[in-house]
Amino acid sequence: MTTSGSQFQGKWAVVTGSTEGIGRAIALELAAAGANVIIHGRNAGRASEVVAAIRALKREAASIVTAFGQDTDWASFVEQCWTGRPIDVWINNAGADVLTGDATQASFSEKLSQVWNVDVRSAIALSRLTGQRMLARGQGAIVNIGWDQAAHGMAGDSGEMFAASKGAIMAFTKSLAKSLAPAVRVNCVAPGWIRTKWGQTASPEWQTRAQGESLLARWGEPEDVARTVRWLASPDAAFVNGQIVEVNGGRNDAQNHGAHDRGQHRDTSTGNS
């Protein structure tokens, strides 16, 4: 985590899907940089653990436990976040886990519906709602989470599903940045192979692929993504807007595989849990 404790001093941040994985790393990174953080997820126990970790850093923290599904009341969630506090930073990290557990047995259509509701509809709705509030205040930063291969494509069911969903978020980011400028900045981080829950148990074949497709020849860690998110949301990136920033160690195109995937590298369960 960053050693700076004053970058976000006195500011409030919301990180959706922040009870584990990338979202948890982002929440802790922002808190270490001075932010008070609202934690979101579906598991109350894990949410409480992250809140306690943030308070141990001498920051304020709160949690909102809810699932982002088809019938989510987005306006109510935003209202809860903003009640009694202005939100300066909003991070849309929540994602549906369709790669582990019982969800792996669902059909492609069922998985796509879950991913679309959580990864796409939630990010769009929450960004628009909180963006208008930030616009009224005259300041704010929104950071979305995309996927580095959405711009290039990846064969297989998971590749098609996540390219469609994360490609939509990346395109939305560019448009929302224009809608909210100049008061509110909107950017997107596009992670590559990040060692979250899926990556920790991936087969030797996928371990080799993950390292081979990065010029740095290693998996990325949640903290690699978190540091980039923190920078994009901070005053240090004050002239960065409407950008897609890949966090993948450099894309090694010579190692890209064309075979259909038998899994998927981005563990979206790091978001909505």
Q: Give me the mean pLDDT over the 18-24 stretch.
A: 95
pLDDT range class, residue 24, cuts 50, 70, 90: very high
Length of the chain measured in residues: 273
Residue 7 reports pLDDT greater than 80? yes
Task: Report the CATH number of the 12-265 domain.
Answer: 3.40.50.720
For 73-82, 157-166, 185-194, which range has the lowest pLDDT when averaged over its residues?
Answer: 157-166
pLDDT at 256: 57
pLDDT, tens only, 95-149:
887 565 666 777 888 888 888 999 999 999 999 999 999 999 999 999 999 999 8
Closest by CA position to 118, among listed 155, 74, 158: 74
Q: What does the mean pLDDT of the chain come to?
A: 86
Stretch (H or E) spanning 161? helix 157-180
Residue 3 reports pLDDT greater than 60? no
pLDDT range class, residue 272, cuts 50, 70, 90: very low
Query: Which pair of structure tokens corresponds to residue 118?
Result: 């959580």
pLDDT, tens only, 188-220:
999 987 867 666 666 677 677 766 677 786 778
Stretch (H or E) spanning 89? strand 89-92
SS3 90: strand
Query: Which pair of structure tokens corresponds to residue 141?
Result: 């930063």
pLDDT range class, residue 245, cuts 50, 70, 90: very high
Residue 259 reports pLDDT greater than 50? no
**∠ CA 262-246-39, rounded to 5°:** 85
pLDDT at 212: 64
DSSP codes, 4-18: -S-TTTT-EEEESS-
pLDDT at 72: 81
Q: How far is C-alpha 191 from the geometric centre of its chain's CA atoms?
A: 9
Residue 269 reports pLDDT greater than 60? no
**206 near 215, Cβ under 8 Å?**
no
Q: What is the pTM of this model?
A: 0.88
Q: Give me the mean pLDDT over the 18-30 stretch.
A: 96
Higher pLDDT residue, 73 or 51?
51
Question: Which single residue is written with the structure tokens 């899907």?
Answer: 17
- Interior/surface letters 249-269, b for 16+ CB within 10 angstroms, e for the rest: bebbeeeeeeeebebbbbbbb
For 117-121, 150-154, 220-224, 237-241, which range has the lowest pLDDT when averaged over its residues?
Answer: 150-154
Higher pLDDT residue, 122 or 261?
122
